[in-house]
Amino acid sequence: MLRASGIQWDLRKVDHYECYDELDWEIHWQKEGDSLARYLVRIGEMRESIKIIQQALEGIPGGPYENLETRCFARERDPEWNDFEYRFISKKPSPTFELPKQELYVRVEAPKGELGIFLIGDQSGFPWRWKIRPPGFINLQILPQLVKRMKLADIMTILGSVDIIMGEVDR
């Protein structure tokens, strides 16, 4: 939504997380702010995603590999391991860590915008409070301004270009 309105903003470039700084890619943007601009930005982002994937694949180091599927099929099945109870018992404990007593907000670039997670820790393994801020909820806020003075037939195009997922906006 923001990049289709003339602002070159992408958290992967701004926050410099993961290995995006090592890859060659551009921020696609349009200045019109309409449904066509949002569509053109999405198409450009798909092309850039392909470039990112190709560069990441070229960066994978070579060396020996093991096909775990063939090893799984080659071993003899133990009937005790296939019992109903064994399949639902945790085979490996999950790692535990202590959340410090502080507030933390982390954001990443999601396909529709910024996905934010807010945590309040209380020095235990579980957060005292947490909130997920999906991008669809933020994009929905501008909908009344987008549909002003529009024809009824244009509303479906606008909704499609905003790409609202109603499961996200129930918060």
pLDDT tens-digit map of 89-146: 555 556 677 888 999 999 998 888 889 999 999 888 888 999 988 888 788 888 899 8
Do residues 163 and 136 lie in contact, with contact meaning Cβ atoms separated by under 8 Å? yes
Residues 54-63: pLDDT tens digits?
A: 999 999 888 8
Is 124 inside a domain boundary?
A: no
Question: Is 132 a member of any domain?
Answer: no
Q: Residue 106 falls within a domain, yes or no?
A: no
Print the domain residue range for 4: 1-59
Q: In whole angstroms, what is the distance from residue 130 CA to residue 170 CA?
A: 16
CA atoms within 13 A on the CB side of 101: 2
Whether residue 145 is contained in a domain is answered as no
Q: Is residue 159 part of a domain?
A: no
> Does any domain span residue 109?
no
Taking the CB of residue 77, how many other CB atoms lie within 10 A of it? Answer: 8
Is residue 79, in this structure, part of any structural domain at all? Answer: no
Confidence of residue 163 (pLDDT cuts 50, 70, 90): confident
Residue 35 lies in a domain: yes
Q: Whole-model pTM?
A: 0.71
Number of domains in the chain: 1
